[in-house]
Chains A and B, each alone.
Chain A
Amino acid sequence: MDADPPQFGNIDVNESDIHTIVLSYLVHNCFKDTLESFVSCTGMKQPVDHMQDMEKRKRIYHFALDGNASKAIEMTEEFAPGLLEENKDLHFDLLSLHFVELVSSHKTQEALLFAQCQLTDFGKEQKYVKKLEDFMALLAYDEPEKSPMFHLLSSDHRQHVAESLNRAILAHTKLPSYSAMERLIQQTTVVRQCLSQELGKDGHKPFSLKDFLKS
């Protein structure tokens, strides 16, 4: 391992800081029951203000995750008006989730109509053209899951869109869009990258979270 164990082991980690990190993770992911359990086990103060919003964010997240984009869009417009107008990329991704749902259910006519109404407008901007082409190409396949664009139908992709939506909503409600846990991972990666650059080949290898967790 490239880290120096005795040096690292000497750094004391404050328990209440750790609790803050876990709490931030739970709020970010809307894990309400887990949060209540954790708060009562540790004797922390429950973050009262965020609780109601968490329910709504959770439902929006699940709609997007399940591919029910129209419900997700509807709730988002209700809960965070103007958000989708401000986040065109996200809006496009959500609409295309709906499109993909229709394609997967073999509702080709409906899909085509939907695309023409809602998606082609985006084609006026160069950056969406390639994406549009990918999506439209799905229509050409009897078995879209066997096409080269099969990843657009995957649960990973839906998860990615659902997460982007969650971050946008958090930002909109003036909350941090990355949880403390995620920030910590980012900070570690960046500082390790800097160190690698400084030390050149004599120094640390590029940071891999996986390797670190295993080591």
Chain B
Amino acid sequence: MSEVTRDLIGDHFLDLWSKTRARKPESDEEEEELPTELDPDSIAGGFAVVGPDRLSVRYPNVSLHDHDAGVVKANHAAPMKRMIYYFEIFVQNEGAKGRITVGFTTSAFNAHRQPGWEESTFGYNADDGLFYNGQTSREAFPTFTAGDTVGAGINYATRNFFFTLNGVMVAFFDKDIKGPVFPSVSVHSHFEEVLVNFGQRGFAFDLKAYEAEERFIIEEKIGDRVSVPQNADHGIVRSYLQHYGYGETLKHLDISLQSIMPSISAAPEDGASEEDTMYAFNQRRTLRQLINSGKIDETFSTLGMWYPQIIEGDSSVICFMLHCQKFIELVRDEKIADALWYGKSELAKFMNSSAFGDIAKDCSALLAYGQPKECFVGYLLGDSQRELVADAVNATILSTNPNMKDGSLCKYPALERLIQQVTACSLEKRSLKGGEGEAFRLSRHLNSTYKA
């Protein structure tokens, strides 16, 4: 494996380090704006008045023309990158005629009409209990009046609008409207008044339970649709343990596997061969243990003995990471004078490089603080930093395997690549389907089923 590939691996881990510094949000789902209040500017012609907290709306006391409904929208469209969006209204006062409508409209919607009046809108009407979607109404459902809590939601997984009344699901319909939609409410007669809840208070409807049920249904469908290739999981777990050097665990696993599959050997066609995943197992394990105990000098000397090519020239990413770690360990042990000296003699040469400069500065910043653990570079003193360096060395040693055809296999074992694959493909699938719905997120998936 060439020098170039080796540094590609190094660059990858450097990149990971940069990401830790930047502390990026876990997913794009956190970046969408949410509806939080009503937008008085969305009302045309004064046919509705929004309260000062922007969470209530009423029909002005002045008698107005029968055709002029007062419609108000939320300040942002309903977020799309999730499975379900939901909001509720509470009817404070049904007014003279009780013609409140709640639902969703698009930004282009003409604001004199109730949601549902035009095709790109959908609304549930208090007066007749009908659901409107551009003049077509559906079967009659319960009407609602003062004291009732009505909810309107979007289920992106099933592509439905759904409505609830006092905590109970009333109906759901196909969501034919494409693109962003705004939670909307309209009032249409004297004294009608409605309070709106965008999630700031608890909902009458058990949204969490509904979400859990829907996710469960989706999970079950996947289970029914696809069978798991027999014994595929064993190889994947083994290669994970082999990659990260879990020697003792691997031994136990192999004994257990032997007892259930004596005739079936770890089939080589089922993945990277045993030689490749077990390559330099003991060496990698030893080096990982050294790094995790902070013994960087020994790490350098051991590498020099076993894999001199990795630290030759003292300029590669691995060298940089190890020197930084040595510096960090000195700070950890409060050997400040030694750290200063080490920084000057070994880290200085990296400071001017565009690739390493910023990160190296993080390290030297450690010296500036009396309590380095509490400052923004405190993460350097944690175990996770040692793990990062150990992972980088691990991957680089794997790359010295003359049989290794693909350098990218060194960075991540099959298990992690599988997770990356499903996450990335899920995101791609969502963007192909108009960017709606929740993409696969491993922690969410595990929390709903597997965490105790």
Contact = CB atoms under 8 A, between A and B. Distances in A.
A120 interface: no
A22 to B, nearest CB: 6
Interface in A160-215: 160, 163, 176-195, 198-199, 204, 209-210, 212-215
Contacts, number: 170
A89 to B, nearest CB: 14
B226 A186 contact: yes
B228 A182 contact: yes
A117 interface: no
A70 interface: no
B19 A18 contact: no
Interface stretch (B76-84, B217-225, B304-312, B353-361): B217-225
Nearest to B12: A9
A134 B225 CA distance: 27
B235 interface: yes
User: What is the size category of the interface that chain A forms with chain B?
Assistant: 35 or more
A18 B442 CA distance: 9
Given A5-B408, A190-B226, A34 B253 contact: yes
Give chain B's interface secondary structure class. Answer: helix
Interface string B221-252: 01101101110110111001100001011001
A180 B423 contact: no
B298 interface: no
B272 A214 contact: yes
B173 interface: no
B62 interface: no
B157 interface: no
A9 B229 contact: no
B442 A65 contact: no
Contact of A41 (B246, B261, B451): B246
Among A5, A62, A213, max chain B CB count under 10 A is at: A213
Contacts of B408: 5, 9
A210 B236 CA distance: 11
Contacts of B260: 29, 61-62, 65, 159
Interface string B7-49: 0000010001001000000000000000000000000000000
Contact of B222 (A156, A177, A186): A186
Contacts of B416: 13, 18
Interface residue SS majority, chain A: helix
Of the listed residues B223, B230, B235, B425, the one surrounded by the most CB atoms of chain A closer than 10 A to its CB is B425
B422 A210 contact: no
B249 A38 contact: yes
A3 interface: yes
Contact of B422 (A4, A15, A38, A188): A188
Interface string B408-451: 10011011111111111110110011000000101101100111
B451 A20 contact: yes
A24 B446 CA distance: 10
A183 B422 contact: no
A129 to B, nearest CB: 24
Contacts of B421: 3, 8, 188, 192, 212
B440 A187 contact: yes
B53 interface: no
A188 B248 contact: no
A185 B419 contact: no
Interface in A1-54: 3-5, 7-9, 11-15, 17-18, 20-22, 24-25, 29, 31, 33-34, 37-38, 41, 45, 47, 49
A12 B428 CA distance: 16
11 contacts: A8-B420, A24-B450, A25-B237, A34-B249, A34-B252, A62-B259, A181-B237, A192-B421, A194-B429, A195-B428, A213-B272
Interface of A: 3-5, 7-9, 11-15, 17-18, 20-22, 24-25, 29, 31, 33-34, 37-38, 41, 45, 47, 49, 61-62, 65, 155-156, 159-160, 163, 176-195, 198-199, 204, 209-210, 212-215
